[in-house]
Chain A
Amino acid sequence: MKGLLRKDIYLAKDTLAIMLLLGLIIGVSLSFFVPSGVFIPLMTAMLASLTPTTMNLDHTSGWNRLQATMPLTKKTIVMGKYITFTAHILFGYIIGFILCFLMNLIRKNMTPDDYFTFSIIGLSFAFFSGCITLPANHIVKNEKMGIIIFIFSYFASAVILLGTGYLLLKVFLLNLQKDFYIIGWILLAFSLCLFCLSIIVSFKTYEKKELV
Protein backbone atom coordinates (compact mmCIF):
# COMPACT_ATOMS: atom_id res chain seq x y z
CA MET A 1 0.00 0.00 0.00
CA LYS A 2 2.73 2.43 1.00
CA GLY A 3 4.46 1.92 -2.34
CA LEU A 4 1.28 2.62 -4.28
CA LEU A 5 0.60 5.83 -2.35
CA ARG A 6 4.19 6.89 -2.83
CA LYS A 7 3.89 6.30 -6.56
CA ASP A 8 0.71 8.41 -6.70
CA ILE A 9 2.43 11.22 -4.84
CA TYR A 10 5.32 11.17 -7.36
CA LEU A 11 2.81 11.29 -10.20
CA ALA A 12 0.67 14.01 -8.63
CA LYS A 13 3.69 16.21 -7.90
CA ASP A 14 4.16 16.96 -11.59
CA THR A 15 0.62 18.13 -12.29
CA LEU A 16 -0.02 19.71 -8.90
CA ALA A 17 1.84 22.98 -9.51
CA ILE A 18 0.03 23.61 -12.80
CA MET A 19 -3.29 22.79 -11.19
CA LEU A 20 -2.76 25.12 -8.23
CA LEU A 21 -1.75 27.95 -10.53
CA LEU A 22 -4.77 27.38 -12.75
CA GLY A 23 -7.05 27.25 -9.71
CA LEU A 24 -5.58 30.45 -8.38
CA ILE A 25 -6.14 32.32 -11.64
CA ILE A 26 -9.72 31.11 -12.07
CA GLY A 27 -10.47 31.62 -8.38
CA VAL A 28 -9.12 35.14 -8.24
CA SER A 29 -10.93 36.22 -11.37
CA LEU A 30 -14.20 34.60 -10.26
CA SER A 31 -14.14 35.87 -6.72
CA PHE A 32 -14.52 39.45 -7.93
CA PHE A 33 -18.03 38.53 -9.06
CA VAL A 34 -19.09 35.94 -6.49
CA PRO A 35 -18.13 35.36 -2.84
CA SER A 36 -14.50 34.29 -2.18
CA GLY A 37 -15.99 30.95 -1.08
CA VAL A 38 -15.82 29.59 -4.66
CA PHE A 39 -12.19 28.81 -3.95
CA ILE A 40 -13.28 25.94 -1.73
CA PRO A 41 -15.36 23.86 -4.19
CA LEU A 42 -13.09 24.91 -7.07
CA MET A 43 -9.86 23.65 -5.51
CA THR A 44 -11.54 20.53 -4.12
CA ALA A 45 -12.98 19.63 -7.53
CA MET A 46 -9.69 20.36 -9.26
CA LEU A 47 -7.71 18.10 -6.95
CA ALA A 48 -10.44 15.47 -7.23
CA SER A 49 -9.55 15.20 -10.92
CA LEU A 50 -5.99 14.16 -10.04
CA THR A 51 -6.93 10.59 -9.14
CA PRO A 52 -8.71 9.75 -12.41
CA THR A 53 -5.71 11.28 -14.17
CA THR A 54 -3.26 9.02 -12.36
CA MET A 55 -5.53 6.04 -12.95
CA ASN A 56 -5.46 6.82 -16.63
CA LEU A 57 -1.65 7.02 -16.47
CA ASP A 58 -1.55 3.71 -14.62
CA HIS A 59 -3.40 2.20 -17.53
CA THR A 60 -1.50 3.75 -20.45
CA SER A 61 1.93 3.26 -18.89
CA GLY A 62 1.46 -0.48 -18.41
CA TRP A 63 1.77 -0.04 -14.65
CA ASN A 64 -1.66 -1.63 -14.08
CA ARG A 65 -0.67 -5.02 -15.45
CA LEU A 66 2.74 -4.88 -13.75
CA GLN A 67 1.28 -4.05 -10.33
CA ALA A 68 -1.10 -6.99 -10.76
CA THR A 69 1.97 -9.25 -10.71
CA MET A 70 3.36 -7.67 -7.52
CA PRO A 71 2.73 -8.94 -4.01
CA LEU A 72 -0.31 -6.71 -3.53
CA THR A 73 -3.81 -7.95 -2.88
CA LYS A 74 -6.66 -6.72 -5.05
CA LYS A 75 -8.09 -5.07 -1.95
CA THR A 76 -4.87 -3.10 -1.46
CA ILE A 77 -4.85 -1.93 -5.06
CA VAL A 78 -8.50 -0.78 -4.92
CA MET A 79 -8.23 0.78 -1.47
CA GLY A 80 -5.01 2.56 -2.43
CA LYS A 81 -6.89 4.62 -4.98
CA TYR A 82 -9.60 5.50 -2.45
CA ILE A 83 -7.00 6.73 0.00
CA THR A 84 -5.22 8.72 -2.70
CA PHE A 85 -8.52 10.24 -3.77
CA THR A 86 -9.55 11.21 -0.26
CA ALA A 87 -6.11 12.68 0.40
CA HIS A 88 -6.28 14.67 -2.83
CA ILE A 89 -9.65 16.23 -2.11
CA LEU A 90 -8.80 17.00 1.50
CA PHE A 91 -5.64 18.67 0.29
CA GLY A 92 -7.63 20.62 -2.31
CA TYR A 93 -10.19 21.56 0.32
CA ILE A 94 -7.51 22.90 2.70
CA ILE A 95 -5.79 24.88 -0.07
CA GLY A 96 -9.18 26.27 -1.18
CA PHE A 97 -10.07 27.16 2.40
CA ILE A 98 -6.77 29.02 2.93
CA LEU A 99 -7.10 30.89 -0.36
CA CYS A 100 -10.67 31.78 0.47
CA PHE A 101 -9.66 33.01 3.90
CA LEU A 102 -6.83 35.15 2.47
CA MET A 103 -9.05 36.58 -0.24
CA ASN A 104 -11.68 37.38 2.35
CA LEU A 105 -9.17 39.45 4.30
CA ILE A 106 -9.37 41.91 1.42
CA ARG A 107 -12.94 41.52 0.34
CA LYS A 108 -14.64 40.75 3.64
CA ASN A 109 -17.78 39.29 2.02
CA MET A 110 -17.94 35.86 3.76
CA THR A 111 -20.06 34.94 6.77
CA PRO A 112 -19.28 31.79 8.83
CA ASP A 113 -22.39 30.24 7.26
CA ASP A 114 -20.90 30.88 3.83
CA TYR A 115 -17.80 28.92 4.82
CA PHE A 116 -20.06 26.07 5.88
CA THR A 117 -22.10 26.14 2.67
CA PHE A 118 -19.10 26.18 0.36
CA SER A 119 -17.34 23.47 2.35
CA ILE A 120 -20.38 21.18 2.13
CA ILE A 121 -20.82 21.85 -1.57
CA GLY A 122 -17.12 21.31 -2.31
CA LEU A 123 -16.67 18.11 -0.32
CA SER A 124 -19.94 16.38 -1.17
CA PHE A 125 -19.52 17.27 -4.82
CA ALA A 126 -16.05 15.70 -4.82
CA PHE A 127 -17.22 12.56 -3.01
CA PHE A 128 -20.14 12.12 -5.39
CA SER A 129 -17.83 12.38 -8.37
CA GLY A 130 -15.48 9.84 -6.79
CA CYS A 131 -18.33 7.32 -6.52
CA ILE A 132 -18.49 7.32 -10.29
CA THR A 133 -14.93 7.79 -11.47
CA LEU A 134 -13.22 5.33 -9.12
CA PRO A 135 -15.27 2.22 -9.97
CA ALA A 136 -15.67 3.27 -13.61
CA ASN A 137 -11.94 3.53 -14.13
CA HIS A 138 -11.62 -0.22 -13.86
CA ILE A 139 -13.82 -0.70 -16.91
CA VAL A 140 -12.27 2.10 -18.94
CA LYS A 141 -10.61 0.73 -22.03
CA ASN A 142 -9.06 3.86 -23.55
CA GLU A 143 -8.18 7.43 -22.83
CA LYS A 144 -11.20 8.88 -24.63
CA MET A 145 -13.61 6.80 -22.58
CA GLY A 146 -11.76 7.94 -19.44
CA ILE A 147 -12.27 11.61 -20.26
CA ILE A 148 -15.94 11.09 -21.10
CA ILE A 149 -16.55 9.29 -17.81
CA PHE A 150 -14.67 11.99 -15.96
CA ILE A 151 -16.77 14.82 -17.46
CA PHE A 152 -19.91 12.78 -16.93
CA SER A 153 -18.98 12.25 -13.27
CA TYR A 154 -18.82 15.99 -12.62
CA PHE A 155 -22.10 16.52 -14.37
CA ALA A 156 -23.73 13.63 -12.52
CA SER A 157 -22.47 14.70 -9.13
CA ALA A 158 -23.89 18.18 -9.70
CA VAL A 159 -27.22 16.53 -10.50
CA ILE A 160 -27.04 14.26 -7.41
CA LEU A 161 -26.15 17.22 -5.22
CA LEU A 162 -29.03 19.35 -6.48
CA GLY A 163 -31.39 16.37 -6.54
CA THR A 164 -30.64 15.45 -2.93
CA GLY A 165 -31.08 19.07 -1.90
CA TYR A 166 -34.38 19.21 -3.75
CA LEU A 167 -35.60 16.01 -2.11
CA LEU A 168 -34.68 17.28 1.34
CA LEU A 169 -36.58 20.52 0.80
CA LYS A 170 -39.61 19.34 -1.14
CA VAL A 171 -40.18 15.75 -0.01
CA PHE A 172 -38.78 15.74 3.51
CA LEU A 173 -40.02 19.31 3.90
CA LEU A 174 -36.94 20.70 5.57
CA ASN A 175 -36.63 24.44 5.73
CA LEU A 176 -33.55 26.01 4.13
CA GLN A 177 -33.28 28.70 6.82
CA LYS A 178 -34.36 26.72 9.84
CA ASP A 179 -32.68 23.39 9.03
CA PHE A 180 -29.64 24.94 7.36
CA TYR A 181 -27.01 22.92 9.23
CA ILE A 182 -29.01 19.69 9.20
CA ILE A 183 -29.33 19.86 5.41
CA GLY A 184 -25.60 20.48 5.12
CA TRP A 185 -24.62 17.56 7.32
CA ILE A 186 -27.11 15.23 5.63
CA LEU A 187 -25.66 16.11 2.20
CA LEU A 188 -22.12 15.44 3.34
CA ALA A 189 -23.07 12.23 5.14
CA PHE A 190 -25.00 10.98 2.11
CA SER A 191 -22.07 11.66 -0.22
CA LEU A 192 -19.72 9.84 2.17
CA CYS A 193 -22.09 6.86 2.37
CA LEU A 194 -22.26 6.56 -1.41
CA PHE A 195 -18.48 6.96 -1.58
CA CYS A 196 -17.97 4.07 0.84
CA LEU A 197 -20.54 1.91 -0.96
CA SER A 198 -18.70 2.51 -4.22
CA ILE A 199 -15.68 0.70 -2.73
CA ILE A 200 -17.64 -2.54 -2.99
CA VAL A 201 -18.53 -1.77 -6.62
CA SER A 202 -14.90 -0.89 -7.34
CA PHE A 203 -13.74 -4.13 -5.83
CA LYS A 204 -16.19 -6.14 -7.93
CA THR A 205 -15.24 -4.39 -11.17
CA TYR A 206 -11.52 -4.78 -10.43
CA GLU A 207 -11.88 -8.46 -9.64
CA LYS A 208 -13.53 -9.16 -12.99
CA LYS A 209 -11.08 -7.00 -14.85
CA GLU A 210 -8.61 -8.53 -17.27
CA LEU A 211 -5.63 -6.37 -18.06
CA VAL A 212 -4.47 -6.08 -21.62
Chain B
Amino acid sequence: MQAIMQIENLSKHYDNFDLEDVSFSIPYGSIMGLIGANGAGKSTIIKTILGIAHKDSGYIQIFGRDDIEDNAIKEKIGVVFDGSNFHPAMTPKQINKVLADIYTNWQEDVFYTYLKKLSLPEKKKIEDFSRGMKMKLAIASALSHQPELLILDEPTGGLDPIVRDEILDMFLDFIQDERHAILVSSHILRDLEKVADYITFIHNGRLLFSKTKDELIYDYGLIRCTKEQFSSIERDDIIACRRQEYSCDVLTADKAAAQRKYTDCVIDNVTIDDIMLMYIKGERQ
Protein backbone atom coordinates (compact mmCIF):
# COMPACT_ATOMS: atom_id res chain seq x y z
CA MET B 1 0.00 0.00 0.00
CA GLN B 2 1.23 3.45 -0.88
CA ALA B 3 1.82 5.94 1.91
CA ILE B 4 -0.10 9.19 2.35
CA MET B 5 2.64 10.32 4.71
CA GLN B 6 6.18 9.14 5.04
CA ILE B 7 8.62 10.29 7.68
CA GLU B 8 12.28 9.41 7.49
CA ASN B 9 15.00 10.08 10.05
CA LEU B 10 13.25 13.07 11.53
CA SER B 11 15.34 14.89 14.14
CA LYS B 12 14.66 18.01 16.14
CA HIS B 13 16.79 19.32 18.97
CA TYR B 14 15.71 21.50 21.84
CA ASP B 15 17.75 22.59 24.85
CA ASN B 16 16.18 20.00 27.11
CA PHE B 17 14.74 17.50 24.64
CA ASP B 18 15.80 15.71 21.51
CA LEU B 19 13.70 14.02 18.90
CA GLU B 20 16.08 11.62 17.24
CA ASP B 21 15.87 9.74 13.99
CA VAL B 22 12.15 8.97 13.87
CA SER B 23 10.80 7.13 10.82
CA PHE B 24 7.35 5.78 10.07
CA SER B 25 4.75 5.91 7.36
CA ILE B 26 0.96 6.03 7.14
CA PRO B 27 -0.70 4.03 4.35
CA TYR B 28 -3.75 5.44 2.58
CA GLY B 29 -7.02 4.42 4.19
CA SER B 30 -5.66 3.81 7.64
CA ILE B 31 -5.61 5.22 11.15
CA MET B 32 -2.17 5.63 12.72
CA GLY B 33 -2.02 5.95 16.48
CA LEU B 34 1.00 7.83 17.82
CA ILE B 35 1.51 6.73 21.40
CA GLY B 36 3.92 7.44 24.19
CA ALA B 37 3.99 8.86 27.70
CA ASN B 38 3.55 12.58 28.28
CA GLY B 39 6.64 14.39 27.06
CA ALA B 40 7.76 11.49 24.86
CA GLY B 41 7.80 13.69 21.77
CA LYS B 42 4.40 13.06 20.19
CA SER B 43 3.50 16.75 19.98
CA THR B 44 6.95 17.63 18.68
CA ILE B 45 6.51 15.12 15.85
CA ILE B 46 3.12 16.56 14.96
CA LYS B 47 4.41 20.12 15.08
CA THR B 48 7.36 19.34 12.84
CA ILE B 49 5.09 17.51 10.39
CA LEU B 50 2.90 20.61 10.22
CA GLY B 51 5.88 22.93 9.88
CA ILE B 52 5.00 24.79 13.08
CA ALA B 53 8.31 23.68 14.53
CA HIS B 54 11.25 23.47 12.16
CA LYS B 55 12.91 20.09 11.74
CA ASP B 56 16.68 19.94 12.07
CA SER B 57 17.05 17.05 9.68
CA GLY B 58 15.03 14.34 8.04
CA TYR B 59 12.39 14.03 5.44
CA ILE B 60 8.62 14.45 5.77
CA GLN B 61 6.64 13.56 2.69
CA ILE B 62 2.91 14.25 2.57
CA PHE B 63 0.89 13.38 -0.54
CA GLY B 64 4.23 12.51 -2.10
CA ARG B 65 5.89 15.89 -1.47
CA ASP B 66 8.16 17.31 1.21
CA ASP B 67 6.81 20.84 1.23
CA ILE B 68 4.43 21.61 4.05
CA GLU B 69 4.64 25.32 3.20
CA ASP B 70 2.70 24.64 0.02
CA ASN B 71 -0.86 25.82 0.48
CA ALA B 72 -2.16 23.16 -1.89
CA ILE B 73 -1.01 20.57 0.65
CA LYS B 74 -2.38 22.51 3.60
CA GLU B 75 -5.79 22.66 1.91
CA LYS B 76 -5.95 18.88 2.14
CA ILE B 77 -4.99 18.57 5.80
CA GLY B 78 -7.35 18.97 8.74
CA VAL B 79 -5.70 19.71 12.08
CA VAL B 80 -6.93 19.51 15.66
CA PHE B 81 -4.76 20.48 18.60
CA ASP B 82 -5.02 19.50 22.20
CA GLY B 83 -6.94 22.02 24.30
CA SER B 84 -8.16 25.20 22.68
CA ASN B 85 -8.12 25.86 18.95
CA PHE B 86 -10.34 28.91 18.48
CA HIS B 87 -10.89 32.26 20.17
CA PRO B 88 -13.16 31.85 23.19
CA ALA B 89 -15.10 35.00 22.26
CA MET B 90 -16.13 33.62 18.88
CA THR B 91 -19.18 31.57 17.98
CA PRO B 92 -19.35 28.53 15.66
CA LYS B 93 -21.25 30.71 13.22
CA GLN B 94 -18.38 33.19 13.07
CA ILE B 95 -15.86 30.36 12.72
CA ASN B 96 -17.81 29.13 9.72
CA LYS B 97 -17.47 32.54 8.06
CA VAL B 98 -13.78 32.89 8.84
CA LEU B 99 -12.84 29.40 7.66
CA ALA B 100 -15.00 29.77 4.55
CA ASP B 101 -12.73 32.68 3.60
CA ILE B 102 -9.58 30.71 4.30
CA TYR B 103 -10.25 27.27 2.79
CA THR B 104 -11.08 27.04 -0.91
CA ASN B 105 -13.11 23.87 -0.39
CA TRP B 106 -14.94 24.93 2.75
CA GLN B 107 -18.40 23.33 2.86
CA GLU B 108 -20.81 25.30 4.97
CA ASP B 109 -23.55 22.66 4.77
CA VAL B 110 -21.18 19.95 5.98
CA PHE B 111 -20.10 22.14 8.89
CA TYR B 112 -23.67 22.91 9.93
CA THR B 113 -24.65 19.26 9.59
CA TYR B 114 -21.86 18.39 12.01
CA LEU B 115 -22.98 21.10 14.43
CA LYS B 116 -26.46 19.66 14.41
CA LYS B 117 -25.35 16.05 14.68
CA LEU B 118 -23.02 16.85 17.58
CA SER B 119 -25.61 19.18 19.19
CA LEU B 120 -23.35 22.22 19.18
CA PRO B 121 -25.12 25.59 19.37
CA GLU B 122 -24.37 27.93 16.44
CA LYS B 123 -24.59 31.22 18.24
CA LYS B 124 -23.09 30.45 21.61
CA LYS B 125 -19.61 31.72 22.43
CA ILE B 126 -16.97 29.04 22.63
CA GLU B 127 -15.98 30.17 26.12
CA ASP B 128 -19.31 28.76 27.32
CA PHE B 129 -18.59 25.36 25.73
CA SER B 130 -17.51 22.34 27.72
CA ARG B 131 -14.21 20.69 26.94
CA GLY B 132 -15.94 17.96 24.99
CA MET B 133 -17.95 20.48 22.94
CA LYS B 134 -14.80 22.46 22.12
CA MET B 135 -13.10 19.30 20.91
CA LYS B 136 -16.11 18.26 18.82
CA LEU B 137 -16.21 21.73 17.27
CA ALA B 138 -12.50 21.57 16.47
CA ILE B 139 -12.91 18.18 14.78
CA ALA B 140 -16.02 19.32 12.90
CA SER B 141 -14.07 22.36 11.64
CA ALA B 142 -11.14 20.20 10.63
CA LEU B 143 -13.46 17.93 8.63
CA SER B 144 -15.43 20.58 6.78
CA HIS B 145 -12.96 21.58 4.08
CA GLN B 146 -12.73 18.17 2.37
CA PRO B 147 -9.41 17.17 3.94
CA GLU B 148 -7.74 13.94 2.95
CA LEU B 149 -5.42 13.72 5.92
CA LEU B 150 -6.53 14.38 9.46
CA ILE B 151 -3.90 15.13 12.10
CA LEU B 152 -4.98 15.26 15.72
CA ASP B 153 -2.92 15.88 18.84
CA GLU B 154 -4.46 14.26 21.93
CA PRO B 155 -8.07 14.76 20.84
CA THR B 156 -9.63 12.49 23.45
CA GLY B 157 -7.71 13.68 26.52
CA GLY B 158 -9.99 14.55 29.42
CA LEU B 159 -13.22 13.67 27.61
CA ASP B 160 -16.04 11.49 28.87
CA PRO B 161 -16.68 8.10 27.25
CA ILE B 162 -19.73 9.33 25.31
CA VAL B 163 -17.85 12.14 23.58
CA ARG B 164 -14.91 9.80 22.95
CA ASP B 165 -17.29 7.36 21.30
CA GLU B 166 -18.73 10.11 19.08
CA ILE B 167 -15.22 11.12 18.09
CA LEU B 168 -14.20 7.56 17.22
CA ASP B 169 -17.32 7.33 15.05
CA MET B 170 -16.26 10.49 13.20
CA PHE B 171 -12.85 8.94 12.60
CA LEU B 172 -14.36 5.75 11.20
CA ASP B 173 -16.72 7.79 9.04
CA PHE B 174 -13.82 9.77 7.63
CA ILE B 175 -11.85 6.62 6.86
CA GLN B 176 -14.71 5.13 4.81
CA ASP B 177 -12.98 6.84 1.90
CA GLU B 178 -9.82 4.85 1.31
CA ARG B 179 -7.93 7.87 -0.01
CA HIS B 180 -8.09 9.33 3.49
CA ALA B 181 -5.90 8.70 6.51
CA ILE B 182 -5.67 9.81 10.13
CA LEU B 183 -2.69 10.47 12.37
CA VAL B 184 -3.79 10.70 15.97
CA SER B 185 -1.65 11.00 19.06
CA SER B 186 -2.92 9.92 22.41
CA HIS B 187 -1.90 8.57 25.74
CA ILE B 188 -5.38 7.14 26.27
CA LEU B 189 -4.72 3.86 24.59
CA ARG B 190 -8.07 2.19 24.95
CA ASP B 191 -9.46 4.52 22.30
CA LEU B 192 -6.73 3.79 19.83
CA GLU B 193 -6.81 0.10 20.58
CA LYS B 194 -10.30 0.01 19.12
CA VAL B 195 -9.89 1.81 15.84
CA ALA B 196 -6.22 2.27 14.99
CA ASP B 197 -4.74 0.17 12.21
CA TYR B 198 -1.15 1.00 13.08
CA ILE B 199 0.61 2.00 16.26
CA THR B 200 3.78 4.07 16.39
CA PHE B 201 5.36 4.15 19.81
CA ILE B 202 7.63 7.03 20.82
CA HIS B 203 9.67 7.06 24.01
CA ASN B 204 12.12 9.77 25.12
CA GLY B 205 12.14 11.25 21.63
CA ARG B 206 12.97 7.94 19.98
CA LEU B 207 10.94 5.52 17.94
CA LEU B 208 10.45 2.16 19.66
CA PHE B 209 8.31 0.59 16.97
CA SER B 210 5.73 1.22 14.28
CA LYS B 211 3.59 -1.84 13.61
CA THR B 212 0.06 -2.94 12.82
CA LYS B 213 -2.08 -3.01 15.92
CA ASP B 214 -3.21 -6.58 15.28
CA GLU B 215 0.37 -7.77 15.22
CA LEU B 216 0.87 -6.18 18.63
CA ILE B 217 -2.22 -7.42 20.38
CA TYR B 218 -2.43 -10.87 18.77
CA ASP B 219 1.21 -11.80 18.32
CA TYR B 220 2.71 -10.23 21.42
CA GLY B 221 2.21 -11.95 24.74
CA LEU B 222 3.07 -11.64 28.39
CA ILE B 223 4.83 -14.62 29.93
CA ARG B 224 4.12 -14.67 33.63
CA CYS B 225 6.67 -16.86 35.35
CA THR B 226 8.68 -17.53 38.48
CA LYS B 227 12.29 -16.50 38.77
CA GLU B 228 13.48 -20.06 38.02
CA GLN B 229 11.29 -20.26 34.96
CA PHE B 230 12.58 -16.89 33.87
CA SER B 231 16.15 -18.14 33.76
CA SER B 232 15.07 -20.83 31.30
CA ILE B 233 13.57 -18.33 28.83
CA GLU B 234 15.76 -17.69 25.82
CA ARG B 235 17.00 -14.15 25.51
CA ASP B 236 15.78 -13.91 21.93
CA ASP B 237 12.22 -14.40 23.12
CA ILE B 238 12.41 -11.49 25.53
CA ILE B 239 11.60 -7.94 24.45
CA ALA B 240 11.38 -6.60 27.96
CA CYS B 241 10.98 -8.04 31.42
CA ARG B 242 9.74 -6.75 34.70
CA ARG B 243 10.76 -8.41 37.91
CA GLN B 244 8.11 -8.19 40.57
CA GLU B 245 8.37 -9.36 44.13
CA TYR B 246 6.79 -12.78 43.59
CA SER B 247 6.95 -13.21 39.86
CA CYS B 248 8.42 -12.03 36.63
CA ASP B 249 6.62 -10.61 33.59
CA VAL B 250 8.19 -11.07 30.20
CA LEU B 251 7.01 -9.39 27.00
CA THR B 252 7.48 -11.60 23.97
CA ALA B 253 6.85 -10.91 20.30
CA ASP B 254 5.63 -14.42 19.49
CA LYS B 255 2.92 -15.59 21.83
CA ALA B 256 2.23 -18.81 19.92
CA ALA B 257 5.86 -19.89 19.99
CA ALA B 258 6.10 -19.09 23.68
CA GLN B 259 3.02 -21.19 24.35
CA ARG B 260 4.69 -24.16 22.66
CA LYS B 261 8.10 -23.65 24.27
CA TYR B 262 7.27 -22.72 27.81
CA THR B 263 4.36 -24.98 28.59
CA ASP B 264 4.62 -24.55 32.33
CA CYS B 265 4.34 -20.74 32.24
CA VAL B 266 1.18 -18.69 32.13
CA ILE B 267 1.01 -16.75 28.89
CA ASP B 268 -1.41 -13.85 28.73
CA ASN B 269 -2.79 -11.73 25.95
CA VAL B 270 -1.55 -8.14 25.93
CA THR B 271 -3.15 -4.76 25.59
CA ILE B 272 -1.36 -1.77 24.09
CA ASP B 273 -1.21 -0.45 27.65
CA ASP B 274 0.71 -3.55 28.76
CA ILE B 275 3.15 -3.21 25.88
CA MET B 276 3.76 0.45 26.61
CA LEU B 277 4.24 -0.25 30.31
CA MET B 278 6.67 -3.10 29.65
CA TYR B 279 8.71 -1.01 27.25
CA ILE B 280 8.94 1.95 29.57
CA LYS B 281 9.15 0.33 32.97
CA GLY B 282 10.71 -3.01 32.10
CA GLU B 283 14.34 -3.90 31.47
CA ARG B 284 14.82 -4.11 27.78
CA GLN B 285 17.03 -6.74 26.16
A/B touching: CB–CB < 8 A: yes
What is A's interface to B at a CB cutoff of 8 Å?
2-4, 6-7, 10-11, 14, 57-58, 61-63, 65-66, 68-74, 210-211
A71 touches B79 (CB 8 A): no
The interface residues of chain B lying within 8 Å CB-to-CB of A74 are 69
A3 touches B50 (CB 8 A): no
Q: Could you tell me the distance between the alpha carbons of A14 and B71 in the complex, rounded to whole angstroms?
A: 31
Smallest CB gap from A68: residue in B: B52
* List of B residues within 8 angstroms of A11 by Cβ: 87, 89-90
Expressed in whole angstroms, the minimum distance between the Cβ of A12 and any Cβ of chain B is 10
Looking at B69, B90, B99, the one whose CB has the most chain A CB atoms below 10 A away is: B90
Main secondary structure of the interface of A (DSSP, over half): helix
Residues of chain B whose beta carbon lies under 8 Å from any beta carbon of chain A: 47, 50-54, 69, 71-72, 74-75, 77, 79, 81, 83-90, 94, 97-104, 151
Task: Provide the main secondary structure of the chain B interface.
Answer: loop
A80 to B46, CA, bound (A): 26
Evaluate whether A68 and B50 lie within 8 angstroms (CB atoms) in the complex, with A10-B90, A61-B84 already known: yes
In Å, the complex CA distance between A7 and B79 comes to 19
Residue contacts A-B, CB under 8 angstroms, 30 given: A3-B101, A4-B102, A6-B97, A10-B87, A10-B98, A14-B89, A58-B87, A61-B84, A61-B87, A62-B83, A62-B85, A63-B85, A63-B86, A65-B47, A65-B81, A68-B50, A68-B52, A69-B50, A69-B52, A69-B151, A70-B102, A70-B103, A71-B74, A71-B75, A71-B102, A71-B104, A72-B71, A73-B69, A74-B69, A210-B53
Q: Which 5 pairs show the lowest CB-CB distances between chains A and B?
A: A3-B101, A71-B71, A3-B102, A69-B79, A71-B74
CB atoms of A62 and B52 under 8 A apart: no
CB-based contact B79/A66 at 8 Å: yes
Q: Are A62 and B74 in touch, CB under 8 angstroms? A: no
What is the bound-complex CA distance between A185 and B103, given in angstroms? 42
On chain A, the residues within 8 Å of B151 by CB distance are 69
Residue of B nearest to A14 (CB): B89
Chain B residues with Cβ below 8 Å from A3 are 97-102
Q: Which residues of A contact B100 (CB under 8 A)?
A: 3
Across the interface, which residues of A come within 8 angstroms of B69, CB to CB?
73-74
Which of these, A2, A4, A68, contacts B51 with CB under 8 Å? A68
A28-B162 Cα distance, complex, nearest whole Å: 56
Contact of A69 with B77 at beta-carbon distance under 8 Å, contacts A3-B102, A7-B98, A10-B90 already known: yes
Partner of A210, one of B54, B71, B83, B89: B54
- Of all chain A residues, which has the CB nearest B14? A210
The docked-state distance in angstroms from the alpha carbon of A7 to that of B98 is: 6
**A185 CB → nearest B CB, Å:** 37
- Please tell me if the beta carbons of A62 and B86 are within 8 angstroms of each other in the complex: yes
A68 to B102, CA, bound (A): 12
- Nearest CB in chain A to that of B125: its residue: A14
A201 to chain B, nearest CB (A): 19
Name the one of A58, A62, A71, A73 contacting B103, with C-beta atoms under 8 angstroms.
Answer: A71
**Complex interface: chain A residues within 8 A of B90 (CB):** 7, 10-11
Write out the residue numbers on chain A whose beta carbons fall within 8 Å of the beta carbon of B88.
61
In Å, the complex CA distance between A3 and B97 comes to 7
Q: What's the least CB distance linking A57 to chain B, in Å?
A: 6
A210 and B53 alpha carbons, distance in the complex (Å): 5
Name which residue of chain A comes closest to B103, CB basis: A71
Q: How far is the CA of A158 from the CA of B175 in the complex (A)?
A: 58
What chain A residues lie within 8 Å of B85 (beta carbons)? 61-63, 66
Chain B residue contacts of A70, Cβ below 8 A: 74, 102-103
Given the known A-B contacts A65-B81, A68-B52, are A57 and B87 also in contact in the complex, defined by CB atoms under 8 Å?
Answer: yes
